[in-house]
Amino acid sequence: MKVALVGGSGAVGAHLLRELASRGHQVTAVVRRPDAIDRAAYTAVMQVPGDAYDRGSLEKAFAGADAVVSAFNPGWTEPGLYDKFLTGARTIQWAARNAGVARLLVVGGAGSLLGEDGRQIIESMNVPEPYAGGVRAARDYHAELLGEADIDWVFLSPPLGYGPMGPTDRRGTYRTSGDTPVVDEHGHSTISGPDLALALVDELEIPRHHKQRFTVGY
């Protein structure tokens, strides 16, 4: 498939880039900096200029793609993170729609998942700024996506325990859920970066969710 990847040099996007390239997909990495992706490691990956806040550059970069995969995040310590996150996410969505892309797969956040009491987990989270702005933005963007009627979108919420303190190895396995976290027998909800990427690229190749959110975990 022809896949346009946004955020391919980031913590999540780097795993997605590796997984997509290893499966032989034609990957176009949409980058702001020409040195964002290691050219020696990814000789088959095309890099094109694009800015997550610039509709025109993204629409041009997405032209001809079968799918757009977005791991966009301005950075957890970025000033004005809430507004920048939403602006970039909306711009990517707009450009994918206007470029005629069939599918949009977004890596979002876990805060909008539902806890055992039926409330969004974000309501019981105590997260410091500016990180909290990104958590709120991902929650609010998921709510906006629910109203997207034209493009076939998917929103992947990572597990609550996803991140630098979680597992890093590739196990080649995962379980999925809809709006509630995947929890193992020890009560943990986590997954490694390589297996998160595995789950998203599996969804890309064999679609099981349409205009839906799903989450993963071990």
CATH code of the domain covering residue 70:
3.40.50.720
* CA pair distance 81, 179, nearest whole angstrom: 25
pLDDT tens by residue, 66-81: 999 999 999 999 999 9
pLDDT at 34 over 90: no
How many Å separate Cα 51 from the centre of its chain? 16
Average pLDDT over residues 127-149: 95
**pLDDT band at residue 214, thresholds of 50, 70 and 90?**
very high
Which pLDDT value is given to residue 4?
98
Bridge-based pairing state of the strands 67-70 and 2-6: parallel
Average pLDDT over residues 175-201: 97
Return the SS3 of 84. Answer: helix
**pLDDT band at residue 129, thresholds of 50, 70 and 90?**
confident
The answer to whether the CB of 68 falls within 8 A of the CB of 62 is: yes
Residue with tokens 């909008």: 112
Average pLDDT over residues 137-152: 97
Q: How many CB atoms neighbour CB 116 within 10 A? A: 9
Which pLDDT value is given to residue 175?
98
Q: How many domains does the chain have?
A: 1
- Cα–Cα–Cα angle for 133, 134, 137, rounded to 5 degrees: 85
The answer to whether the CB of 30 falls within 8 A of the CB of 48 is: yes
Residue 138 belongs to what domain range?
Answer: 2-217
Which pLDDT value is given to residue 39?
86
Residue with tokens 């009491």: 117
Average pLDDT over residues 143-152: 96
pLDDT tens by residue, 84-97: 999 999 999 999 99
- Per mean pLDDT, which range of 27-36, 105-114, 134-143 is the poorest? 27-36
* CA pair distance 17, 26, nearest whole angstrom: 11
Q: CB under 8 Å to 77, separation ≥6 — which residues?
A: 130, 131
Closest to 104 (Cα-Cα) out of 8, 200, 38: 200
pTM for the whole structure: 0.96
Length of the chain in residues, anyone?
218
* CA pair distance 182, 89, nearest whole angstrom: 25
* Tokens coding 185: 């027998």
